[in-house]
Each structure stands twice: as C-alpha cells, then as structure tokens.
C-alpha cells in the first residue's frame, strides 16, 4: 500500500537498520551477541519471498503491524522480505494481482514463506469467502502446498477465530486443520501484537528454521509464559487484593482483575512485557481483564468475559504465592464448562472474603 | 464498443466486495455492488451474554475498530435503560475522536490519494515553485524548499532503484490525472508526514482503549478504565498530559495540511464536482453525548431527503423513535432466505447462496432502508445535516472550506458541491477539522469532571427476567452504525448490526432502488475501460470498508478484458 511506498522512499540508513536488527533480536529473546547474525540474515542480497493471504478476517492483524515503529511494516516489507502478494497492502489489484501470485509460486516453489491472516470456511464447499472467484479453502490448499513454511497470524488463521465460535455457521477453521504436511507457526492474538509477528518472521529468516514452539505451535519467545506470570497486578493477586467491580476502590488502586473476569491465569502471551502501540499500555494495565485472545477457541472457552476463570486457587490474603503456581496446570477446554464455573465461584468467594487492604 | 472488464480483487480497502459496471459511450450506465464474505457473527451472538457482545462485534472490522464496541454497549444500555457516567461518556468520546482522526487521515492520504496524485509526475516538480504553492495555501512548517527537495531526492532514488515491488503498475500518466507536478510533489510530502500523525493519534486510542486495534476498555455500563489522579496504575495526570500533547500536534496537522489538501483536490479537480452524487438522501446520527442519558450531543444528527437541505429533520436522543421506528432491511437481492423487508428487531439471518445473479440475489449485504428509502451515510451526511440544522461548529468549518475552495478554484461554490465525489473527501476533512477541536475539548471536560472529585466510570448492568429490546447508534468514521438487540432472560435472543458500509454498499431492494455506491457510479466518465481509475475514485470516496472487485461489463456481457485496478 501507499504507506509502504512512502516508507520505501525513506531508504533505511545503516544505523536505523542496525537498530531494527537489534530490536528484532531483543524481541526474540536473544542475546546481544546475536545481533550480527540477525543483521547478516536480513542483509542477504535476495530478499526472502513472502506470500500473504487474507481470508475470513477483519484486517486487524495487518492493522496491528501498521502500528509498529521499530521496525515498522515498511521496513519489513521493503527491506527485510520481498512481499509478493498482499491484498491490503499491494498496489496491483484484480487479475494482475492474481498473476503476481501465480508467478511468485512458480518462481519460488518450495522456498517462500506463506503468511495467512483469517480463518477458512469449510462448510458448503467454502462459499462464504471468495476472492477472485475462488474459495479461501481452494486458495490455501493451492498456495500452502507450495510453501516452505506457513505462519498463521491471528487467532482466526491459527484456530478459526471469532467466526468459528459456536455454532460456527460457516464451518470456519484454522490453517492447521487444512494443511497437515508443512511446518505451521501460530502467532495468535486478536489481533496479535505487531512485534510478535515481526519477530517470528525475522527469526525464521535468521535461523532458517522455525522458532521453538509450544504444543499449540506458538513461539515460546512470545507465548512461553502466562499473562499472569509477568502481570504488574500479580502482587495484588498474591496478597488477595481484588477488584470486585469496575470503578470500585480496588480498581482505583490497581488491584487484581481476576474476579471481574481476567483470563490472565490461563492465557499464554507476552502482553505485560511487550505492551502495545509504543504507548506503554495493555488491556490489564488500563483496567480491563485479559479475554484470553491467544488461546484456541477463546470465543467459546473464555466467555462469559466478566465471570472469573474456574478452578483457580486464590490466595486467601496470606501473601502465599505457592498455590497460584498450580493455576498454569489448569486445562482450559472441556473443564471450563458452566458447572465448573459455579462450583468454583463458591470456593473462591469463600477464599477471598478476607481480602486485605493495602 | 463495449467491453466487459473484471477487476478482482481491488486493493487498498478492507474486506471483499465486488462491483459490476456496464459502460456505454464512455459512461457508466448500470452498476451492482456485491459483498463477497459472510461470517455469521449475528448468529454466533444468539444465546450469548449481552455484556460480551461488544467484543464479538468489534471483530467485524479491525480497520473501523472501536466502532462496533461503542454501538454494541449502547444497544445493551438502551435495552436496560442504563445511564452511563459522565467520565465514561467523555472517555468514549475521546476514543471516538482519536480513532476517527486516525481513520480519516489514513483514508485520505494512504488509501485514496493515489486516485488523484500522480507520484511519478512529482519527479518533474521544481521544489522552489512547490514551496511557493504550498506556502500560499498554508503556514505549515513542513512546506519548505528543503523539505520538498529532500522528498523529491528520495522519490528519485526509489524510482531509479527499479524495485517498486508491490507498487509497480500504478496509474501513473493516466489521462484523468490532472495535477501539476508541484501539486503532486506537495501531496507526496504530506503523505509521508501523514504517516507520523496517524501513528501519534492512534496512541491516544491506545491510552484510553488499552490497546489498538480492538480496544478493550468499553463495557456495558461505562468503561473499565480506572481513573484516579492519586494512583500510579490508573488514568492519571501523566496519561492525560500525554494525550493533550498528541491531540495538539494532530490538530495542527489536520487544520493546516489535511483540510487544505482536501480543498486543493476539490479545486484542482473542479470538473469532478459534478460527478458521484448518487443517492441524495442522507442519514447521520448524533454523537459525542454530553450527559449520562444521551440527550445532548456535540455532533448533530438527522435526515435529509431528496438533496434539499431545508428538508432536514433532527434525530435528538439515544432513544429517538424517529430513528428506532424507521430503519428496515430488505433481502430481495441478498443471499438470505426470503424477499422480506423487516425491522432489525424482527429480522432473521438464514443464508441462501445463489452465486452472482444481477437480476436476482447478488450480495451478502442486506439493503438497509429508512422510511423505505436508500440513504447515503458518512461524513458528507453528517456535515450536510449539521449545516442544515445550523450547528455552529459545522457551519464554521464548512464556510471556511468553501471560502477557500472558491478562492482557489476561481468559482463561487456553495454547500451543494459537497454532494459529489471530491465533495465526500472534503466533507470528511471538514469532519476531521471539527473532531480535532472536539477531541481535546472532551479531554478537557474529563479533566474538569475529575477535578470536581467525580471518579465514577461504571454503572453495573442488571438483566431482568423476560424480553427487553434496545438499539444503539454511533456516528462512525464511515457513517451511521446501529446495533439492535433483543435480550431474553439475560441472554441475547436476536442481534442485528446495520453498518455504514451496508447502507452505502447496499444492493437493490424489492422496489429495484439502487444503493449509494451503485447510484453514485451512474454517469461517471470512464476514459479507458481497461484502466477504470474513475470508478475507483468514486468508490474510494465513500471510504469503503470492503476490498471490492470492479467489473465493467456491457449489456450483452461479451468479451472479457481483465485489468488491474489501483
């Protein structure tokens, strides 16, 4: 898009480039000594080809890239990779855009990275999402089969996303449900932090292999710890100091949001450390609980958003950290059924009646 | 000789839309607008907790992020008769203004400018003459010879590198491109600066929204943004001062650059002021409430039928029955079962896909109607309604803009010229000029209210047994958005969203009335059917939130020539 064009005009100076490489290195959790390696990978004369597909989505993931600054999306696309196809960002459209896609697949068969944004409709032959006359399902099967690896960005591409919420009227699924024979890296979030997307791509370019991932295919450098682990409100949780209702005294003092629905204890993501929009913010810092948007089927598993997560043992105001460690072992999923919510609610209420003031 | 041209997909817009156009004698004679994606969000919402609806609906769009969250909580609050604390209203209004400013700036410079600005022509510009031109228009500090020379050098280096990448094959040199090289260079320079200002104003959205895209602080009953000037973990003076600074910088950019450029485009493409009016019924809703109930507002709303400003009728509150009772949607030409026209509370959403049938069903979009009429929504509608109602702030900026437009174009223009393709861009810039004042105003109102000792942000919702109904509207960057909810025993029984791009991208209804995109394309010139730049100009002027495909075809639907669109 024009933004990229514009930034292309501003040729990256060497110093800026090194800054970008250093930040990318830090974002991946690598030591400073790795900067040279990252720089070398990024400076290779042939920019690695990337094909970016949009399916059932809201463009929020691409938008989140537009809100990064170091490096910004233009640097990524003009200096770090060769973006062969991207519906929202490319200037070409229509038939010529489709030709670009075809040509890129032929030229870079088995070499290119495929980035997918959006879920894939499988019901009724996939007719609920068509681009250029073809269904998303057909396009993914075709392009995905020729890629070296696939990065599924956003919870839609990773796990089906909002349209896959019950009753999933369009039969929406994630990439991993369609493509079975390729490495797929999931970068979920609704949308994911732009820096997590950037760092995943740069990691692959640097090490020529996917980053270490968890059981759900998520890079450990961004999804290795629970929100709860690095949350700035964690001390209040450990001390049993909770917000009971938005705007109450606890809320005005920055207490823990667990009881007003925060899903931080069962959600793996780096929001508390990475933060958003270079504005030093994330939802929990602002005063709203985490909604668990990096977890599979969170639209089914994490609702109601304003009821607390069941099965979490809450410190009873004794400042005990130990019990909370078990929270991570709590499996979201079937266990999060309504019955459990009510059962646990009683226990928690009991456990937290003796909340301590500061 | 007529040709059928397929452009699919169009880029630089969000979503999947297809437009078919018939061209004869160099003019468009018929048009169809067809949305190409359906996700079933309204079905998914059935049975869910109404407090969660905002999070689901916000995912309808990540470009117009924030807007569905606002409309959703308002709909549920309306059903409950729940008042919203003043602080929460102000926080929501600040988010509204900041997001709309970001959205309008990006739309004008980064999504639409290339329809009017020939980037390659800027290489031929004289930086000194460019500075003279720019300084005659505005005191903006960036309008200097040094700056323009620097931008031109960078542009030159970029073009000479031969690596245009995703930007190859633009409509450079198209006969419809009319700006002199100096105006093109000025536009390219401003377009680069606009990147910084959209980034800055988005930080205001993030400060008050917790993140962006997809804010996470707007809740049924208020906001979940704790306010406490005595605490380090809440909205306190430091955050407010930061937002003040960002607003101040962006206001200067909007008043001295964006608005001036939109006026200049209108003046330098004065012949285009005749094209693109289309549907001249207008709908806007009031927004930026100043009280807890939504009865007084900083942005006016109402309807205008048949182009005549004197026919204006105001919409005056969040409960106004004039709005509530007159909205309906028709599915005669949409991929849903039946051919009914129903009020949103009564609607169902049962898909029935038939492929593209120009005489039958051809779109996933329903056809919204107000008193049975198609309506154009968006900044143009809001500016016209405000002007017609004598709204002071609207009048100030419209008169300012029209005065400058008359001066630059050398012809005396009246408010009627806004009803055109470039007029829609100008109306959007006028709205931005207003919001650039209203954003900091509401930040100030918030600060004053906090100073009084009011830290309330939330009224807890309580859902009764039985059925309740509510509607919530919001004047989003792309126009009137409304959500309609039926709640039974605290669960969602029915949910419908009537969104701006549905009003504007509407297909035909059961009476065969064209929607605004369709109608606005009729009579547009098309110089080169293989490069339908003019079609894109008019479609982009609505700020479509759907990637669209433009199909130009003749009545015999023969010979297909495929081209790109930019």
Residue A208 sits in the same domain as residue A240: no
Q: Of A161-170, A327-336, B20-29, which has the strongest mean pLDDT?
A: A161-170
Q: What is the rounded radius of gyration, in angstroms, for the C-alpha atoms of chain A? A: 22
Residue A211 sits in the same domain as residue A248: no
Q: Is the pLDDT of residue B261 over 70?
A: yes
| Torsion sign (Cα): B72, B74, B77, B79 | negative
Q: Does the CB of B411 have a partner CB in chain A at under 8 Å? A: no
pLDDT digits (tens, 9 = 90+) for B207-229: 999 999 999 999 999 999 999 99
Residue A187 sits in the same domain as residue A202: yes
Q: Does the CB of B21 have a partner CB in chain A at under 8 Å? A: no
pLDDT value of position A216: 96
| B57, B88, B233, B563, best to mutate vs chain A, most A CBs in 10 Å | B233
On chain A, the residues whose CB falls within 8 A of the CB of B225 are 286-288
Are the CB atoms for B375 and B503 separated by under 8 Å? Answer: yes
pLDDT value of position B457: 98
Exposure string of B16-38, with b = 16+ CB inside 10 Å and e = fewer, is: bbbbbbbbeeeebebbbbbbbbb
ipTM of the complex: 0.89
Residue A203 sits in the same domain as residue A178: yes
DSSP-derived 3-state class of residue B97: helix
Residue A259 sits in the same domain as residue A177: no
pLDDT value of position B176: 84
pLDDT digits (tens, 9 = 90+) for A166-185: 999 889 999 999 999 888 99
Residue A167 sits in the same domain as residue A26: yes
Residue A115 sits in the same domain as residue A202: yes
Task: Find the CB nearest B212 among A87, A93, A276.
Answer: A276
Are the CB atoms for B191 and B110 separated by under 8 Å? Answer: yes
On chain A, the residues whose CB falls within 8 A of the CB of B61 are 58-60
On chain B, the residues whose CB falls within 8 A of the CB of A131 are 8-9, 16, 36
Q: Is the pLDDT of residue A316 over 60?
A: yes
Q: Does the CB of A304 have a partner CB in chain B at under 8 Å? A: yes
Are the CB atoms for B88 and B223 separated by under 8 Å? Answer: yes
On chain A, the residues whose CB falls within 8 A of the CB of B235 are 286
* Chain CA centroid to CA B32, Å: 21
Residue A74 sits in the same domain as residue A168: yes
pLDDT value of position B347: 83
Asked which of A222, A244, A271 is the last residue of a domain, the reply is A222
Q: How many folded domains does chain A comprise?
A: 2
On chain B, the residues whose CB falls within 8 A of the CB of A279 are 203, 206-207
Residue A88 sits in the same domain as residue A233: no
**Model confidence band, residue A8 (pLDDT cutoffs 50, 70, 90):** very low
Per the model's pLDDT, the better-predicted residue between A64 and B422 turns out to be B422
Q: Mean per-residue pLDDT for A322-341? A: 43
Q: Does the CB of A274 have a partner CB in chain B at under 8 Å? A: no
Nearest-Cα residue of chain B relative to residue A84: B166
Residue A270 sits in the same domain as residue A189: no
Q: Does the CB of A232 have a partner CB in chain B at under 8 Å? A: yes
| Architecture (CATH level 2) of domain B3-565 | Orthogonal Bundle (1.10)
Give the residue numbers of B annotated as catalytic, written as ranges: 14, 61, 64, 68, 478, 501, 545, 548
Residues 164-223 of A with CB under 8 A from B: 165-170, 172, 190-191
Q: Is the pLDDT of residue B9 over 80?
A: no
Please count the residue pairs, one from chain A and one from chain B, whose beta carbons lie less than 8 angstroms apart: 304
Question: Which strand (E) or helix (H) includes residue B472?
Answer: strand B467-476
Residue A206 sits in the same domain as residue A249: no
- Give me the residue label for tokens 């070499």: A111
Whether residue A246 and residue B15 make contact (CB cut-off 8 A), yes or no, is: no
Q: Of A60-74, A79-93, A315-329, which has the strongest mean pLDDT?
A: A60-74
By mean pLDDT, which of A64-78, A323-337, B208-222, B263-277 is the weakest? A323-337
On chain B, the residues whose CB falls within 8 A of the CB of A190 are 59, 214
Are the CB atoms for B442 and B558 separated by under 8 Å? Answer: no
For chain B, domain boundaries? 3-565
CATH number of the domain where residue A134 is located: 3.40.50.700
Q: Which domain holds residue A115?
A: 2-222
**For all residues of chain A together, what is the average pLDDT?**
79
A326 assigned to some structural domain: no
Asked which of A288, A308, A328 is the last residue of a domain, the reply is A308
| Torsion sign (Cα): B406, B410, B414, B415 | negative
Q: Is the pLDDT of residue A14 over 60?
A: no
Asked which of A200, A222, A244 is the last residue of a domain, the reply is A222
On chain A, the residues whose CB falls within 8 A of the CB of B56 are 162, 165, 299
pLDDT value of position A69: 80
Nearest-Cα residue of chain B relative to residue A121: B39
Whether residue B49 and residue A304 make contact (CB cut-off 8 A), yes or no, is: yes
On chain B, the residues whose CB falls within 8 A of the CB of A62 are 62
Whether residue B458 and residue A245 make contact (CB cut-off 8 A), yes or no, is: yes
Q: Is the pLDDT of residue A206 over 60?
A: yes
Residues 3-32 of A with CB under 8 A from B: 3-11
DSSP-derived letter for residue B376 is B
pLDDT value of position A343: 41
Residues in chain A: 358
A342 assigned to some structural domain: no
Whether residue B11 and residue A90 make contact (CB cut-off 8 A), yes or no, is: yes
| B12, B117, B166, best to mutate vs chain A, most A CBs in 10 Å | B166
Distance from CA of A275 to the nearest CA of B (A): 8
Instruction: State both tokens at B5.
Output: 């041209």
CATH number of the domain where residue A239 is located: 4.10.480.10
| A68, A277, A300, best to mutate vs chain B, most B CBs in 10 Å | A277
| A59, A83, A119, A291, best to mutate vs chain B, most B CBs in 10 Å | A59
Residues 214-253 of B with CB under 8 A from A: 214, 216-217, 219, 221-228, 231-235
pLDDT digits (tens, 9 = 90+) for A102-131: 888 998 999 999 999 999 999 988 877 777
Per the model's pLDDT, the better-predicted residue between B93 and B360 turns out to be B93
Separation of alpha carbons B229 and B232, rounded Å: 8
SS3 sequence of chain A: CHHHHHHHHCCCCHHHHHHHHHHHHHHCCCCHHHHHHHHHHHCCCCCCEEEEEECECCCHHHHHHHCCCCCCHHHHHHHHCEEEEECCCCCCCHHHHHHHHHHHHHHCCCCCEEEEECEEECHHHHCCEEECCEEHHHHHHHHHHHCCEEEEEHHHHHHCCHHHCCCCCCCEECHHHCCCCCCEEEECCCCCCHHHHHHHHHHHHHHCCCCCECCCCCEHHHHCCEHHHHCCCHHHHHCCCECCCCCCHHHHCCCECHHHCCCHHHCECCHHHHCECCCCECHHHHCCCCCCCCCCCHHHHCCCCCCCCCCCCCCCCCCCCHHHHHHHHCCCCHHHCHHHHHHHHHHHHHHCCCCCCC
pLDDT digits (tens, 9 = 90+) for B286-329: 999 999 999 999 999 999 999 999 999 999 999 999 999 999 99
Nearest-Cα residue of chain B relative to residue A160: B39
């Amino acid at each position: 898009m024009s933004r990229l064009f514009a930034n292309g005009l501003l040729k990256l100076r060497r110093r800026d480039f090194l800054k970008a490489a250093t930040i990318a290195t830090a974002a991946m959790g690598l030591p400073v000594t790795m900067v040279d390696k990252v720089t070398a990978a990024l400076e290779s004369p042939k920019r690695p080809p990337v094909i970016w597909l949009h399916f059932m989505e809201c463009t929020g993931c691409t938008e989140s890239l537009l809100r990064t600054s170091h490096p910004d999306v233009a640097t990524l696309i003009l200096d770090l990779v060769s973006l062969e196809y991207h519906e929202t960002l490319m200037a070409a459209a229509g038939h010529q855009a489709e030709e670009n896609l075809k040509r890129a697949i032929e030229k870079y068969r088995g070499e290119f990275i495929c980035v997918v944004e959006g879920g894939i409709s499988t019901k009724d032959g996939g007719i609920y999402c068509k681009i250029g006359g073809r269904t998303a399902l057909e396009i993914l099967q075709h392009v995905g089969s020729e890629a070296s690896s696939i990065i599924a960005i956003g919870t839609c591409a990773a796990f089906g996303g909002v349209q896959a919420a019950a009753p999933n009227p369009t039969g929406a699924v994630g990439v991993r449900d369609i493509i079975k024979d390729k490495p797929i890296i999931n970068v979920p979030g609704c949308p994911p932090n732009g820096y997590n997307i950037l760092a995943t791509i740069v990691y692959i370019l640097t090490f020529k292999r996917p980053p270490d991932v968890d059981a759900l295919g998520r890079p450990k450098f961004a999804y290795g710890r629970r929100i709860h682990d690095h949350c700035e409100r964690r001390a209040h949780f450990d001390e049993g100091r909770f917000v009971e209702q938005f705007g109450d005294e606890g809320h005005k003092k920055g207490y823990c949001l667990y009881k007003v629905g925060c899903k931080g204890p069962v959600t793996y993501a780096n929001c508390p450390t990475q933060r958003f929009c270079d504005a030093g913010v994330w939802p929990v810092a602002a005063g709203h609980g985490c909604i668990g948007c990096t977890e599979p089927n969170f639209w089914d598993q994490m609702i109601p958003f304003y009821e607390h997560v069941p099965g979490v043992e809450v410190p009873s105001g004794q400042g005990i950290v130990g019990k909370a460690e078990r929270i991570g072992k709590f499996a979201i999923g079937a266990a999060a059924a309504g019955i459990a919510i009510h059962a646990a609610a009683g226990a928690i209420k009991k456990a937290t009646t003796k909340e301590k003031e500061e | 000789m007529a040709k059928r041209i397929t452009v699919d997909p169009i880029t630089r817009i969000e979503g999947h839309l297809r437009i078919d156009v018939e061209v004869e004698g160099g003019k468009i004679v018929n048009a169809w607008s067809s949305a190409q994606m359906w996700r079933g969000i309204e079905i998914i919402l059935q049975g869910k907790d109404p407090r969660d609806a905002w999070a689901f609906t916000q995912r309808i769009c990540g470009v117009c992020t924030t807007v569905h969250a606002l409309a959703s909580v308002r709909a549920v609050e309306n059903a409950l008769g729940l008042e919203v604390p003043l602080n929460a209203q102000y926080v929501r209004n600040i988010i509204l203004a900041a997001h709309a400013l970001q959205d309008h700036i990006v739309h004008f410079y980064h999504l639409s400018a290339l329809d009017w600005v020939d980037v390659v022509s800027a290489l031929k510009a004289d930086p000194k003459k460019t500075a003279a031109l720019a300084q005659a228009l505005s005191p903006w500090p960036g309008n200097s010879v040094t700056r323009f020379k620097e931008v031109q050098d960078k542009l030159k280096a970029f073009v000479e590198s031969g690596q245009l990448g995703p930007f190859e094959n633009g409509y450079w040199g198209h006969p419809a491109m009319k700006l002199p090289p100096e105006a093109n260079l000025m536009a390219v320079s401003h377009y680069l600066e606009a990147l910084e200002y959209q980034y800055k104003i988005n930080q205001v959205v993030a400060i008050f929204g917790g993140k962006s895209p997809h804010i996470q602080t707007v809740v049924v009953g208020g906001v979940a943004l704790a306010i406490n000037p005595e605490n380090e973990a809440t909205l306190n003076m430091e955050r407010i001062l930061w937002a003040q600074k960002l607003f101040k910088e962006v206001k200067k950019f909007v008043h001295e650059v964006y608005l001036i450029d939109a006026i200049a485009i209108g003046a330098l493409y004065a012949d285009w002021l005749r094209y693109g009016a289309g549907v001249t019924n207008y709908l806007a809703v009031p927004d930026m409430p100043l009280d807890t109930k939504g009865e007084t507002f900083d942005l006016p709303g109402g309807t205008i039928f048949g182009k005549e400003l004197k026919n204006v009728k105001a919409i005056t509150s969040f409960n106004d029955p004039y709005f509530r009772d007159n909205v309906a949607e028709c599915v005669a030409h949409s991929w849903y079962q039946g051919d009914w026209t129903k009020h949103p509370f009564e609607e169902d959403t049962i898909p029935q896909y038939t492929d593209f049938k120009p005489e039958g069903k051809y779109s996933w979009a329903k056809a919204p109607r107000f008193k049975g009429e198609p309506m154009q929504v968006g900044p143009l509608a809001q500016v016209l309604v405000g002007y017609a109602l004598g709204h002071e702030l609207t009048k100030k900026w419209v008169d300012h803009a029209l005065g400058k437009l008359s001066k630059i174009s050398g012809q005396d223009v009246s408010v009627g010229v806004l009803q055109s393709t470039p007029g829609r861009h100008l109306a959007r810039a006028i709205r931005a000029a207003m919001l650039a004042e209203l954003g900091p105003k509401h930040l100030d109102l918030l600060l004053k209210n906090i100073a009084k000792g009011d830290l309330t942000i939330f009224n807890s919702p309580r859902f009764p047994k039985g059925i309740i109904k509510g509607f919530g509207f919001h004047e989003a960057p792309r126009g009137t958005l409304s959500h309609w909810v039926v709640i039974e025993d605290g669960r969602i029984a029915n949910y419908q969203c009537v969104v701006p791009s549905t009003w504007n991208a509407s297909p035909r209804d059961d009476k065969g009335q064209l929607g605004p995109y369709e109608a606005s394309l009729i009579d547009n010139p098309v110089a080169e059917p293989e490069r339908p730049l003019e079609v894109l100009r008019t479609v982009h002027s609505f700020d479509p939130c759907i990637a669209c495909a433009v199909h130009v075809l003749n009545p015999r639907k023969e010979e297909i020539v495929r081209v790109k669109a930019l």
